[in-house]
Amino acid sequence: MKRRNFLQKSAQTGALLTLGSLLPNTMLGMPFTNTDKDLFFKLSLAEWSFHRAIKSGEMDHLDFAAKAQSFGCTGVEYVSNLFKTKAKDKEYLKQMNSRAADAGVENVLIMIGGEGGLAHTETRVRLKSIEKHYKWVDAAHFLGCKTVRVDLRGGNNKSDAAKASAASLATLADFAKGSNINVVVENHGGFSSDGVWLANVIKQVGLANCGTLPDFGNFCIEKDKDKNCLSSYDMYKGMKELLPFAKGVSAKSRNFAADGTEADIDFYKIMKLVKESGYTGFVGIEYEGTLLPEEEGVQKTKDLLLKVAKQL
C-alpha cells in the first residue's frame, strides 16, 4: 500500500509540474514576471509626446489613456493645455477617469502650463497666477493624480525670482496638501534650468509635498528669438542636483542615432543617476522630436529606456 501511494503521489506531482510549466506564474500563487517589467521604476507616458496629433484633431485627448496602454505604460501624464477648458468640467473629468480605468492605467500627474508667472516679483501678478493654478490642483485630485507640475516663470533677477518662487510654491503646496497632491517644478528654461538655483528654491520651501520633476533635456537657460539655445546648464550635473527632490522623472528625447541611442542625451548615464538616487517612481516617456512620427519616437524612447534599465 505504501509503495502504491508513493507511486500515485509521484504521478500526481509530475502532472502538476507539467501543468505548472504551461500556466502563468500568477495562477500558481507566484508573481508573474516579465523582463519588460523587471525595472527599478514604473513607465508612464507624457501626453506632450502626442501634442501635434491632439492639436491637429488627429487624436482625441480622451483616447490618450488607451494610447499609453498600447505602449505598455501603466501611468499617464496629462498636459493642461491639451484640455485647457475642461479643468472644472466634472462630466469630462469623469470620462477621463473612465477611459483610464478601461485602459488599466493610473492617472499620475497634470503638467500645468500657461497660467502665469509664479516667479514674478510683483505680488499682485504672482497671486493671480497662483489662483489660476488652484483649479488644476482640484482637477488632479478628482482624477486621482498624485502630482501637478508647475513652471517658475516671470522672474528677471535671479535672487528676487527665487524668493518669489518659494513664496508661490509654499502657497500652492499648502493648498494642495489637503488634497494629497504634490506640487513639483520641472527644469523648464530660464532660472529653473539651473540645478543649484532650483534645488535651493525647493529647500527654501521646505514642504514634504513640494519637489522636482527632473527632465533629461530641458537644461537650456537662454534662447534667442528663433528658440535656438544660447546657453545651457550641464544636464548630468543638473539631474544629480534635482533628483534628491524628485517626485517624478521625465525621459525627454528628440533625435535618435542609427544605433537607437538618443543623439544628444546619454540615457544610460542619466538613468544610472536616477537609480543611484533611490528613485523608484514613474519615469515618463516624453518624445519631443520632429524628425520621426510621434508613435515611432515614443517607441524608440521606450526601447532605449528598457535597454539601459536592463544594463543597469
Q: For the segment 236-250, what is each residue's pLDDT rounded down to a tens digit?
A: 999 999 999 999 999
What is the residue extent of each domain of the chain? 41-311
pLDDT, tens digit, 9 for 90 and up, residues 100-151: 999 999 999 999 999 999 999 999 999 999 999 999 999 999 999 999 999 9
Cβ atoms < 10 Å from Cβ of 31: 7
Range list of H helices, the chain: 2-20, 51-56, 64-70, 90-103, 123-143, 158-177, 195-205, 235-242, 267-276, 294-311
Q: Residues, the chain, total?
A: 312
Q: How far apart, in whole angstroms, are the C-alpha atoms of residue 119 and residue 154?
A: 5
Would you give per-residue pLDDT tens digits along the chain (312 residues)?
444 444 344 444 444 333 333 333 333 333 333 334 679 999 999 999 999 999 999 999 999 999 999 999 999 999 999 999 999 999 999 999 999 999 999 999 999 999 999 999 999 999 999 999 999 999 999 999 999 999 999 888 999 999 999 999 999 999 999 999 999 999 999 999 999 999 999 999 999 999 999 999 999 998 898 888 899 999 999 999 999 999 999 999 999 999 999 999 999 999 999 999 999 999 999 999 999 999 999 999 999 999 999 999
In terms of Cβ atoms closer than 10 Å to its own Cβ (0-12, 13-18, 19+), residue 261 is middle
Class for domain 41-311, per CATH?
A: alpha beta
